A and B are shown apart, each in its own frame.
Chain A
Amino acid sequence: MPFLRILLLRLLTTAITLAGVAVIVFFVIRVVPGNPIAMMLPPGATEADIARLSALYGLDKPLVAQFGIWLAGVVQGDFGTSITTRQPVLDLVLGRLPATLELSIMALVMACLLGGVAALTGTRFRGGRTEGAIDVANGMALSVPDFLWGLVLILLFGVLVPVFHISGRVTPSMDLPFATNFYLFESLIRLRFDLWADIVAHMFMPALALAIPLAAIIGQLLKQSLKETMNLDYVTLARTKGYGESRVILREALRNAALPTLTLVGVQFTFLIGGTVIIERLFSYEGLGNMAIDAVINRDLPLIQGIVILFAVIFTAVNLIVDLLYTVLNPRLRHG
């Protein structure tokens, strides 16, 4: 019963948040100077042409009426038509979403691996030089944002030792037999390992750039809770049984230390997804973020709206799932 109440309450606040995002983005982008319709038409178009096309996109009505029409459409799954490509916004956005999802998830996995290894190594050799080195590396990784790590990686592995591709999602000359836009996933399923390797070589650096700051956060927090767990009685008991230090850390301490880190990873994951916007731009990766920046530059209002709303939905969904998971996993909250 309390779980259901928490769920309903969270759903309500999520709805308010999304409505707020919709209102803000709709009215902010309508203040953007520059008439998108005038930019669409060839030079020499008459005032009447502009007026006709504006009417077609509903841009001649008062703002509040435009908002009503747009919102009514959104509720029915119609996000309008992109001004630059003249395709439905929903199709465009959903076409790019898989690329961004694959990049974010790959980055998340990398961050968990890197951060986990750092924390475990630091705990195993705590108090020594190794831990000191890991702390310094963590501090650096945490201080510098993904955008700069991306540039550093481009120089290191794109120019100095060119092992990875620095732009795009897949080599353009390759034949793509895919039915969906989940290239990474589908190439595995179709056992096309040549394609898979090519896609990974494109995704590796943008994903790593996104992963580095998060890996540092995971490493720091997990190490701290591991250290606290290592002083608990049940761990001492495991030691007296004669288990080795590595086994005690991996088999006994890790399980209990992981929960606080897990909840933090959820919140940080939304920051990581937000970071894809500029990282995709930096690596010319054809995802949502890159499309969003183009949409702003081209003043493609319906497309901007659609992308921002989709990001907001993803962010709030991740937060919601994390909150609920935490309630389920943490017995103290469940019975509270």
Chain B
Amino acid sequence: MAEAKPIDGRSLIRRRAGARLWLSAGWLTLLCAVALLAPWIAPKDPLAQDLFLGRLPPFWVQGTEPGYWLGTDSLGRDVLSRILHGARVALAVALVAGTITCLVGATLGLMAGFLRGWVDMVISRLIDIWMAFPPVLFSILLIAVLGPGLWSIIIAIVVIDWTRFARVIRAEAMAQGAMDYVASARVAGRGRIGTMLREILPNVLPTIVVLLTLEMGIAVIVEAILSFVNLSISTDDPTWGGMIAEGRTSVHQAWWVLVFPLITLFLTVLSFSQLGEGLKDRFDPVLR
């Protein structure tokens, strides 16, 4: 009986992992569609202000105006339309910043872990220095230097988060480099760079994919935090973080301005993370 249990538990984990994989992939696909179609499906202009329609509650509460499904903020802007448009910034940052961070971090980690020597020493020292910075403060500082804007956020995320990839991939590449198949590839006449790209890289690729998924969720949060501190892209463009910042100040008068963007952000971050964890289980030979 004691032996039957773990197998049972494992299949349970697998079934649960499958469900969360599909749920999170579903939410993210929906979000991509919304981001692409935002100008056509948003019921109102996300920037249109109407002070006579300020702080309208969502549709099921008394005293609302038809057409404003999730209510309006203090300037009379439609909350639903702003959330739909905000998905564009969030996903653009997630995809572009996530990918560039992954490329930079994984390359440095791979080099440090496989080439070792002075390359490893320099990269490891850099990682140590980076780990001594409080990341949120560092990103705010970088935005102050670069000025607000979409590309500034992306650059800030890459500059701050490359260590997440570099640390893990360095350790993985080191472990892989000690294995027999790498030695035989070298004996067979493959060069150092060739071995790194043809032998090590394919073996650390699953880890890179998992980290990339997790990083996309982190990028969405960083963007939200920066807009919360009012340092993201220009104040006109709707972003979830900007909406949350406004909602936080008027939370006692108009809770919906905070609640709806928060739920959207929460589900998105949760989905990226669960997708990453689900993929990790899929790639994990022990669980498979």
Residues of A participating in the B interface, judged by any CB pair closer than 8 Å: 13, 16-18, 20-21, 24-25, 28-29, 31-33, 127, 132, 139-140, 142-145, 147-148, 151-152, 154-155, 158-159, 166, 270, 273-275, 277-278, 281-282, 289, 292-293, 296-297, 299, 304, 307-308, 311-312, 315-316, 319
Q: Are A296 and B270 in contact, with the CB atoms below 8 A?
A: no
A97 to chain B, nearest CB (A): 13
| Residues on B with beta carbons closer than 8 Å to the beta carbon of A33 | 145, 147
Residues of B participating in the A interface, judged by any CB pair closer than 8 Å: 5, 9, 12, 125-126, 128-129, 131-138, 140-142, 144-145, 147, 217-218, 221, 224-225, 228-229, 244, 248, 251-252, 255, 258-259, 262, 265-266, 269-270, 273-274, 277
Q: Are B129 and A296 in contact, with the CB atoms below 8 A?
A: no
Question: Could you list 6 further interchain pairs (A-B, Cβ under 8 angstroms) beyond the known A32-B145, A144-B273, A155-B258?
Answer: A28-B145, A143-B270, A143-B274, A148-B262, A292-B140, A308-B137
> A319 vs B127: C-alpha distance in the bound complex, in angstroms?
14
A–B complex contacts, Cβ < 8 Å, 26 sampled? A17-B132, A20-B125, A21-B132, A25-B133, A29-B144, A139-B277, A143-B217, A143-B274, A144-B269, A145-B221, A145-B269, A147-B221, A147-B225, A151-B244, A151-B258, A154-B258, A166-B251, A274-B135, A277-B140, A278-B225, A281-B229, A293-B137, A296-B140, A297-B144, A311-B137, A316-B132
Dominant secondary structure of chain A at its interface with chain B: helix
Q: From known contacts A143-B270, A152-B262, A296-B140, infer whether A311 and B248 are also in contact, taking CB-CB under 8 Å.
A: no
> A13 vs B269: C-alpha distance in the bound complex, in angstroms?
35
Residue in A18, A159, A281 whose beta carbon sits within 8 Å of that of B255 in the complex: A159
Q: Are B134 and A277 in contact, with the CB atoms below 8 A?
A: yes
Which of A21, A25, A143, A144 counts the most B-chain CB atoms under 10 A from its CB? A143
A134 to chain B, nearest CB (A): 14
Q: Are A152 and B266 in contact, with the CB atoms below 8 A?
A: yes
| Residues on B with beta carbons closer than 8 Å to the beta carbon of A17 | 125, 128-129, 132
| Residues on A with beta carbons closer than 8 Å to the beta carbon of B134 | 273-274, 277, 289, 292, 308, 311, 315
| Residues on B with beta carbons closer than 8 Å to the beta carbon of A273 | 134
B136 to chain A, nearest CB (A): 4
